[in-house]
């Protein structure tokens, strides 16, 4: 039996594709990848593909399928609209880009600070550190303070010794580093 595509079947598949894209409510206005504070290459169409599914992705040459400046650290700058709100994010090469849902702006209208992007977080002492980046990202998304402790991170990298939490993060275009002693309240601002 020979397979055939009727015009109505083709239209059906096209409509399904359009509805999937619209269903996420994310429209990329522009996306540029290149050296920070310099002209980059336009990757809008590529980033829109991730937006169509609301998928986070690691910023890099392989993912974006281009290397505009070999052997240099690059950044991705994306301006997009989600649920009627215009967003702008800058993510460094190697970090993960997460699409925001717009609720951040609605939850606290007085707070107009840029979003926090966790680069790296480690917990421990005296050369015995464990990577807790994913856990800190989860906790930072809630915007509630949390305690730096073995219980919070589910690990004790050096039993019987006082530990530290070291966090590197971006707040907008500003990179910040913070350290907290075990038992301290962590509130990223």
pLDDT of residue 24: 58
pTM above 0.85, yes or no: no
pLDDT of residue 89: 84
pLDDT of residue 156: 95
Q: Among residues 42, 32, 35, 119, which one has the least CA distance to residue 70?
A: 35
Cα–Cα distance for residue pair 77/92, rounded to 1 Å: 9
pLDDT of residue 40: 83
Cα–Cα distance for residue pair 50/52, rounded to 1 Å: 5
Instruction: Please state the three-class secondary structure of the chain as a single string.
Output: CCCCCCHHHHHHHHHHHHHHHHHHCEEEEEEEEECCCCCCEECHHHHHHHHHHCCCEECCHHHHCCCCCCCCCCEEEEEEEECCEEEEEEEECCCEECCCCCHHHHHCCCCCCCCEEEEEEEEEECCEEEECHHHHHHHHHCCCCEECCHHHHCCCCCCCCCCEEEEEEEECCEEEEEEEECCCEECCC
Q: Is residue 74 classed exposed, middle or buried when 0-12, 13-18 and 19+ CB atoms within 10 A define those classes?
A: buried
Instruction: Please state the three-class secondary structure of 88-105 as a single string.
Output: EEEEECCCEECCCCCHHH
Spell out the per-residue pLDDT of the chain, length 189, in tens. 455 555 555 454 444 444 444 445 889 999 999 987 677 899 999 999 999 887 788 999 999 999 999 999 898 989 889 878 888 888 889 888 888 776 554 444 334 456 788 999 999 999 999 999 999 988 887 777 889 999 999 999 999 999 999 999 988 778 889 999 999 888 887
Token pair recorded at residue 13:
């598949």
Which is it for the CA torsion 95, 98, 99, 105, positive or negative?
negative
Contacts of 101 (CB under 8 A, 6+ apart): 82, 83
């Amino acid at each position: 039996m020979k397979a055939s595509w009727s015009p109505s079947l083709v239209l059906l598949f096209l409509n399904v594709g359009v509805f999937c894209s619209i269903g996420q409510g994310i429209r990329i206005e522009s996306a540029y990848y290149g050296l920070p504070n310099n002209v980059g290459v336009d990757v809008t169409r590529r980033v829109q593909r991730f937006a169509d599914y609301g998928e986070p992705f690691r910023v890099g040459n392989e993912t974006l399928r281009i290397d505009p400046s070999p052997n240099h650290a690059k950044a991705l700058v994306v301006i997009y609209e989600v649920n009627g709100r215009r967003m702008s994010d800058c993510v460094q090469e190697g970090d993960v880009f997460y699409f925001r849902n717009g609720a951040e702006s609605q939850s606290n209208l007085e707070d107009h600070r840029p979003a926090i992007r966790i680069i790296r977080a480690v917990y421990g002492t005296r050369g015995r550190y464990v990577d807790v980046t994913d856990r800190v990202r989860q906790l930072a998304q809630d915007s509630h303070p949390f305690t730096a402790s073995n219980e919070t991170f589910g690990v004790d990298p050096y039993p019987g010794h006082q530990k530290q939490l070291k966090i590197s993060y971006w707040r907008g275009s500003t990179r910040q580093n913070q350290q907290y002693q075990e038992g301290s309240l962590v509130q990223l601002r």
